[in-house]
Amino acid sequence: MKKYYSILCLAFFCVIAAFYSNAMPFPKKVKRILFIGNSITYAGQYVTDIETWFTIHYPGRHYEFINVGLPSETVSGLSEDGHADGRFPRPDLHERLARVLAATKPDLVFASYGMNDGIYLPFDEQRFQKFKEGITWLHDAVIKSGAKIVHLTPPVFDEKNGGHPGYAEVLDKYSEWLISERYTAKWEVADIHFPMKKYLLDHRAKDTSFALAKDSVHPGDEGHWLMAKQVLLYLNEDKAANAASINDIMTTFPNGEKILQLVAEKQNIMKDAWLTATKHTRPEMKVGLPLKEAKAKAKEIDNQVKRLLANKN
């Protein structure tokens, strides 16, 4: 009888292990996941953090995480006088979105806009309307392409380190409107903004010199992890809740830190390749490798990651 019971227990634990090893964080048809946005998305650490999380936690699943963030870009189509010292106006997503969707063929899109869309001026109803119109156009275009879209509220703006009085309030309003669309339009919206704002204010209450972004706009690794964490929590990855950084997580996995480095290397190759392949028109950007060559390098890196995942020592 004891032997029979032991066999049943073993079978039960094998079934449970198989279930978790094959768990699916995304719907079955989702394979290609696109991140679109401005310079914060182009910097890409939060995209790397998210890809690394899923690589580590779901080794039996393969998802392609594509970053096509473009520095300076808006979805509102607005640009301030003298942007980039007058060298060029802000790029407008309207100009390139169709090419991006046609080339990448995503199943799921995460869109991060707002930081540039108020062009760093106090709140103005007309600028706000342009932002809302641009986001609605983006939403409809992605849905029409056959993909799903999750809107991200913009990261926090820190007036203390960069001037532009009143701009933090602008992004509060833009974020509140996006969140309201969860209920009025049944959109998928992940809130990045207010958790980052709370984190910033809580830490600054203890240390007045604390900052997530030295220039008020572009977060460092800590801020990117906060962004990644909110996306992960939105996707019901609750194990991310108490993690202070992606590095803290990676140190708990065999070869985790090396895997993080490799994913970052791959993302840096592919984001420039995708931007070049989809023919963005922003000046002063790095020219990416031809897409075929970049994909070959990415495959080599993926194979290295697979070997590291298989080697638990």
**CB distance 196 to 155 below 8 Å:** yes
Instruction: Give the list of residues 6+ apart from residue 103 with CB closer than 8 angstroms, or none.
Output: 274, 277, 278
Band the pLDDT of 313: cuts 50, 70, 90: low
pLDDT of residue 200: 97
Note the pTM of the prediction, 2 decimals: 0.92
CA dist 253 and 14 (Å) reads 21
pLDDT of residue 43: 98
- Residue-wise pLDDT tens digits, 71-95: 999 999 999 999 999 999 999 999 9
% pLDDT > 70, the chain: 92
Band the pLDDT of 162: cuts 50, 70, 90: confident
The per-residue pLDDT of the chain, averaged, comes to: 92
Q: Give the pLDDT mean for 160-174.
A: 92
Q: Give the pLDDT mean for 5-18.
A: 40
- Residue-wise pLDDT tens digits, 21-54: 446 788 889 999 999 999 999 999 999 999 999 9
**Helix spans in the chain (H):** 2-21, 39-43, 45-57, 97-104, 125-145, 167-184, 193-206, 221-234, 246-250, 256-277, 291-310
pLDDT of residue 163: 82
Q: Write the burial class of residue 173 (CB in 10 Å: 0-12 exposed, 13-18 middle, 19+ buried).
A: middle
Q: Give the pLDDT mean for 158-171.
A: 91
Band the pLDDT of 20: cuts 50, 70, 90: very low
Rama region for 38: left / alpha / beta (φ>0; ψ in -120 to 50; rest): beta
- Residue-wise pLDDT tens digits, 107-129: 999 999 999 999 999 999 999 99
pLDDT of residue 94: 98
pLDDT of residue 17: 38
Band the pLDDT of 311: cuts 50, 70, 90: confident
Range name among 1-15, 77-91, 158-172, 189-203 with the lowest pLDDT average: 1-15
Q: Is the pLDDT of residue 248 over 80?
A: yes
pLDDT of residue 23: 62
**The domain 27-310: what is its CATH number?**
3.40.50.1110
